[in-house]
Amino acid sequence: MNPPVITEQERAQKELAVVGKGIPKADAGVKVTGQAQYMHDLELPNMLYGKILYSDRASARIVSIDTSEAERIPGVKAVLTAYNTPEIRFGFLKDNMALKKDRVRQYRDEVAAVAATTPELAEAAIKAIVVHYEDLPAVFDPEEAMQEGAPLVHELNPKGEPNKDNRLRLPWKFSAGDVEAGEAASAFIAEGEYETGWVTHCCLGTAGCVAAFDPDDNLTMYSITQIPSLAKADFQEAMKAMGVRGKVRVVLTTLGGGFGSKLDTYAFEYIAMLLAHRTKKPVKILFDREEEFFATSPRQPTRIKIRQGCDAEGRLTFRDISMVLDNGAYTSWGATTPTVMMMPSSSLYQVENVRFRATCVYTNNTYAQAMRGYGTPQVTFAIESNLDELAEKAGIEGYEFRLKNANLPDTVTPQGFKVDSCGHVPCLEAVAERMDWAGYRAAKAARLAGDATGAGGDATLVESDTAGVPPVAQAAWTELPDKVRGIGMACLLHVGGGAKIYKSDGCGTLIKVDDLGYVDVYSGSMDMGQGLDTILRQIVAETLGLGVDRINVVIGDTDVCPWDAGAHASRSTFVAGNSALYAAQQVREQILNSAADILDTPRDGLDLTGGMVVCADDPEKTTKIEKVLRKAHFASAGNTMFMAAYFYEPPTDLLAGDFKGNYSMAYAWGCHGVEVEVDRRTGQIDIVRYIAAHDVGKAINPLLLRGQILGGGLQGIGWALAEEMIFDEGKLLNPNFRDYKMLTALDSVDVEPILVEDPAAAGPYGAKGIGEPGLVPTAPAIANAIYDAVGIRLRKLPMKPEMVLAAIMEAEGR
Amino acid sequence: MFLPDFDYHAPETLAEACDLVRDLGPSAKVLAGGTDLLIKLKHGLVTPTAVISLKALDELKTITHVPGRGVVIGARATHNDLVNSPLLHERFLSVSEAAHKLANNQVRNRGTVGGNLVNAIPSADLPPILIALDAWITLVGSNTSRTVPLHSFFTGPSCCVIDPVDEILTEIVLPDQQTTGSTYLKFALRRSGALSVTGVAVAVTMDGDTIVDSRICLGAVFPVPVRANDAEDLLRGKTWSDELLAEAGEAASCCALPITDIRGTAEYRLDLVRVLTKRALKRAITEGHV
Ligand SMILES: Cc1cc2nc3c(=O)[nH]c(=O)nc-3n(C[C@H](O)[C@H](O)[C@H](O)COP(=O)(O)OP(=O)(O)OC[C@H]3O[C@@H](n4cnc5c(N)ncnc54)[C@H](O)[C@@H]3O)c2cc1C
């Protein structure tokens, strides 16, 4: 079904009443008063508590499991292993199993599970299970894992055929133009190797579920998934494997954060199903903080090699990227992140000749998944850091270099993206203006000149000289103050109009209107805190000319809500928003057509605004919407109530084959600018100023939008500077917030958002997606600023003080 | 991870508490704020059958100045009690500041000075500044009471001279002193809720620009908080200068014997000792007790 088209003129004609306003989140009240129902709050009658026993080896053969003592504990209702349950396979390549049989491949492998009447008993039972292992060789480094003779993490592929090596057979290759010709035409080439490590989502609400079967074996899964419809399909498939006939219903509780961690189903959910089915009682599994750290799936670590070139004028000639990703022991959606990394690789800045290759490798580490940005933060770190290196080689200032190569509206990129609205240049300019980029550079150049002539430009330097010190030109390091400053910037490209990486990128909406003027909107989408429900309220309210208080959004119940591809790819405002918009437009037409009959006036002169059916031709006939609704409902002839259904499938190309095509309806751009202060003696980096300019199409709700940019920025700064999961041969050493350095309120930086509104023709009221972009360019912007301050190029994340100091000392010859 | 079962006692008087500690012996643990103990209990690292809470002993919570003795801090004073004490602000702001650098606000509301000392981890934040200010403590047993200089209280990681089956730490005393300045610099990988990678506390006695005396105590770089005697000797009687303080930093690093752990390598910790010692000295010399 083709969406009805609203023209720019139509949009501009009408002043927006609700869209564009910073309306507080729909769930703000229940959240601040503690009334929101999280998984932690959910209790069902006769509910049991499930608990999982994990492997304590990275790679081993299971010799025996003795559950007899656990079974004897009063209150323990079931003890399950792979040996007394049906096999449930899951994951992107179906290489994972709910309970592991014969062999463990990572520390988080689920070896046994129990259900008991209290959480304490469940834990006691877990401790009473005795497992004997025989260690097997293990491999933890993805590049070592690719070597010949490396221990195989999986001897067989999911089809039962022998694996030759640890490489996943995934076709992540893209090329456009002629890279060799581009290289030959280059006046300057920069190359570098970049590395990003393990970081995790840090959802404050730990993961969990409650599985409950009815007597007819229908399953209700209370869940915190970001993909209700896809999870339902996964669970339904598992039911088949269990030999259970019933139907699955997925019901969401309030989520305590998602960030991509819930884009796949997890073993614990299947285990809860197995326990619930075995005991015939609802079973709850709720992760503790340690489990949240080690048993949910983090962001992929990457090792990226990049080469970029430009001609004498500074125009990009080619870009060549190859990378190795640590897949961990099993395959989740994380293995598909290279498809999204292709996007900035091929299309951020104008560059004709592009090559991209990615290899995902099994290791005995924890397995990786999706996390905000879906690979683009990692590859953007390489692209944007390396771009500064190239600009320096070409002798062109970084901002000017970016402007020269920036993307422009109404272009098609080498990957085939049809870019219509494009705020790349406006975002660059906004950052440069806000930071007085030219002035900063000029002041620094002046000081440099002063130094060179011995005019004593340094004499006025104080410990925190705001304009920084040009390190490379300094004669003697010892004369530098301890703390110096520098500026850096980095840009981003992300999908802003959905992303067809799955066979359907659609979302359905049902709308019904009662005869009091209240509207229920059933959307397939979901909310994990980002505010999707609020956005849908605004879109529907605007379209029906009602206040947001009249709009009730119902999400998170697959028995009630239509299909949706899930909350990922920054797609919900765009895709679910359009779906709701078009459904609301149908309702609007129904109401207006009825009103024309009822009021006996031409349809064309009628409009819905301010809760009224407004009659332009005859103001006397203007009447409250609910009056029209009741008249239509209780009319003596042809009673009607108003309802609509709409399934919006973005008319985009499925990303497959040669990976060329237009796989999003809009593209989101942005630029971050940062000023840092580097302590040359400790390596400490302080963010002095952080500007985040984003092309958002149209800010449906500027308040929530700023929240996304701020949150993304802070998460990105943490990723760049502090956060890391520290593993020792596959074992996580810091599964707690004391040792995992997620930034706290005291560390938070005043991210200054700049909203650039360049409406997306196909977006709801012109909106583009903005859930992920706020995080994407943080690390390279900071790395570039550190380089500007102290002349060291950091190519590995996180840029911890210790690494910064080591690099500075090496550069200074200390 | 759940708390195991145990008997719970909340004695009303210090004497009662001491008797309980003696009578229950090794099977019991003293509980103050619980920010260390409860975690260990949940992880099964300690398995007492009884817990003796000090929560009813309000006399252990005060911070007062006793003429002739000095500033007396009750062992049950919380970190936020130190942060907010007008008396400390007036005399040793550096102690309030050090307490403020510890953990996060929630932990500071519950965690106590006594717990921080008896827990005796090398990276604890209060011992360095208290040792630099020459603090001593009082340990009370069912029949005994003794005072111990804090610098000889610690005997190893998680080890100290307290007799766990007889004694309770009741107070920390900062004696009246000639020192003109003191400060504690903590380097951690985050501004809040992070253990220190390295901490350096100094106290100096200045006569004009001359360093009459100094005490330097290093945290997280030795099995116990350790005095940097070499650096102190080097400074004694000299006129201060940036170069001299840098030399002192160098000398201090020779007194450290750090380990490599998830927070930092041994080499990095030595670098930090150098720079923090220098900066702490300059701060205490030029700004007083801060
Ligand atoms: C998230 C987090 C962050 C932290 N960050 C820091 C930090 O940055 N710096 C830092 O130094 N510490 C930190 N800590 C550790 C802890 O908070 C402090 O050591 C605190 O001062 C302990 O005091 P407490 O009263 O909670 O001790 P408790 O846990 O009650 O007791 C600790 C130990 O001391 C014994 N004990 C307590 N009081 C007495 C007494 N009066 N007499 C005899 N024995 C006693 C107990 O038996 C127990 O063995 C952190 C803890 C957490 C949970």
Contact criterion met (CB below 8 Å) for A12 and A527: no
* Domain B181-287 CATH class label: alpha beta
Arithmetic mean of pLDDT over chain B: 97
* Residue A738 CB less than 6 A away from ligand 1: yes
Range of the domain at A605: 8-36+506-648
Q: E-assigned strands of A136-273? A: 173-176, 188-196, 208-213, 219-223, 248-252
Q: What's the confidence (pLDDT) of residue A458? A: 38
Same domain, A288 and A435: no
Q: What's the confidence (pLDDT) of residue B245? A: 98
Contact B1 A288 (CB under 8 A): yes
Same domain, A742 and A759: yes
pLDDT > 90 in chain A, percent: 91
Contact A745 B192 (CB under 8 A): yes
Same domain, A632 and A682: no
Q: Which residues in chain B have Cβ-Cβ distances shorter than 8 Å to A288?
A: 1
Note the pLDDT tens digit of each residue in B122-164.
Answer: 999 999 999 999 999 999 999 999 999 999 999 999 999 999 9
ipTM confidence score: 0.95
Q: What's the confidence (pLDDT) of residue B255? A: 97
Q: What are phi and psi of B239, to 5 degrees?
A: -80, 130
Q: What is the CATH number of domain B7-53?
A: 3.30.43.10
pLDDT at A637 over 90: no
Cβ neighbour number for residue A735 with a 10 Å cutoff? 19
Cα of A687 vs its chain's centroid, Å: 24
User: A479: pLDDT confidence band, cut at 50, 70 and 90?
Assistant: low
pLDDT at A12 over 60: no
Same domain, A691 and A766: yes
Provide the CATH number for the domain around residue A100.
3.90.1170.50
Does A726 fall in a domain?
yes
- Which of A744, A803, A809, A814 to substitute to test the interface with B, most B CBs within 10 Å? A744
Q: What is the mean pLDDT of residues A177-190?
A: 98
Does A715 fall in a domain?
yes
Note the pLDDT tens digit of each residue in A406-451.
Answer: 999 999 999 999 999 999 999 999 999 999 999 999 998 888 777 6
Strands A643-648 and A727-728: unpaired
What residue owns the CA closest to ligand 1's atom 40? B169
Number of structural domains found in chain A = 3
Contact A802 B268 (CB under 8 A): yes
Bridge partner list, A512: A520, A643
Q: What is the mean pLDDT of residues A476-490?
A: 84
Spatial separation of the C-alpha atoms in residues A668 and A146, rounded to whole Å = 36
- Cα–Cα distances (Å) from A430 to A437, A697, B89, B120, in that order, read 10, 15, 46, 53
Does A470 fall in a domain?
yes
> DSSP assignment of A648-691, as one string?
E------S-TT--S---S-EEEEEEEEEEEEETTT--EEEEEEE
A740 Cα to the center of ligand 1, angstroms = 20
**A478 or A222, higher pLDDT:** A222
Contact criterion met (CB below 8 Å) for B268 and A802: yes
pLDDT at A759 over 60: yes
pLDDT at B118 over 60: yes
Arithmetic mean of pLDDT over chain A: 94
Same domain, A603 and A513: yes
Does A301 fall in a domain?
no
pLDDT at A474 over 50: no
- Domain boundary among the residues A648, A676, A705 is at A648
Same domain, A671 and A596: no
pLDDT at A143 over 90: yes
- Cα–Cα distances (Å) from B119 to A649, B111, B158, in that order, read 61, 11, 6
Spatial separation of the C-alpha atoms in residues A681 and A477, rounded to whole Å = 12
Does A449 fall in a domain?
yes
Q: What's the confidence (pLDDT) of residue A10? A: 56
Spatial separation of the C-alpha atoms in residues A676 and B18, rounded to whole Å = 54
Contact criterion met (CB below 8 Å) for A285 and A42: no
Note the pLDDT tens digit of each residue in A662-676.
Answer: 999 999 999 999 999
Q: What is the mean pLDDT of residues B66-80?
A: 97
Provide the CATH number for the domain around residue A673.
3.30.365.10
Strands A353-362 and A316-328: parallel
pTM of the model: 0.95
B211: left (phi over 0), alpha (psi -120 to 50) or beta: beta
- Cα–Cα distances (Å) from A215 to A60, A91, A238, in that order, read 39, 29, 18
Spatial separation of the C-alpha atoms in residues A360 and A338, rounded to whole Å = 9
Spatial separation of the C-alpha atoms in residues B125 and B111, rounded to whole Å = 12
Which positions ≥6 away from A146 have C-beta within 8 Å? Answer: A165, A166, A167, A324, A359, A361
Convert A306-345 to b/e letters by CB count within 10 Å (16 or more is b).
bbbbbeeebbbbbbbbebbbbbbbbbbbbbbbbbbbbbbb
Does A67 fall in a domain?
yes
Residue B268 near chain A (CB below 8 Å): yes
pLDDT at A465 over 70: no
Q: What's the confidence (pLDDT) of residue A266? A: 98
Q: Which residues in chain A have Cβ-Cβ distances shorter than 8 Å to B264?
A: 802
Same domain, A692 and A728: yes
What residue owns the CA closest to ligand 1's atom 6? B103
Same domain, A593 and A674: no
Note the pLDDT tens digit of each residue in A502-527.
Answer: 899 999 999 999 999 999 999 999 99
Q: What are phi and psi of A350, to 5 degrees?
A: -90, 110
Same domain, A734 and A776: yes
Architecture of B60-174 per CATH? 2-Layer Sandwich (3.30)
User: A369: pLDDT confidence band, cut at 50, 70 and 90?
Assistant: very high
Instruction: Identify the sign of the CA torsion B272, B274, B277, B283.
Output: negative
Q: What's the confidence (pLDDT) of residue A452? A: 54
Same domain, A516 and A609: yes
Q: What's the confidence (pLDDT) of residue A470? A: 43
Same domain, A592 and A640: yes
Q: Which residues in chain B have Cβ-Cβ distances shorter than 8 Å to A739?
A: 195, 262-263
Tokens in use for A533? 């429900």
User: A13: pLDDT confidence band, cut at 50, 70 and 90?
Assistant: low
Does A102 fall in a domain?
yes
Domain ranges of chain B: 7-53, 60-174, 181-287
Residue B120 near chain A (CB below 8 Å): no
Note the pLDDT tens digit of each residue in A262-306.
Answer: 999 999 999 999 999 999 999 999 999 999 999 999 999 999 999
**B12 or A480, higher pLDDT:** B12
Note the pLDDT tens digit of each residue in A541-595.
Answer: 999 999 999 999 999 999 999 999 999 999 999 999 999 999 999 999 999 999 9
Note the pLDDT tens digit of each residue in A299-339.
Answer: 999 999 999 999 999 999 999 999 999 999 999 998 999 99
Residue B271 near chain A (CB below 8 Å): yes
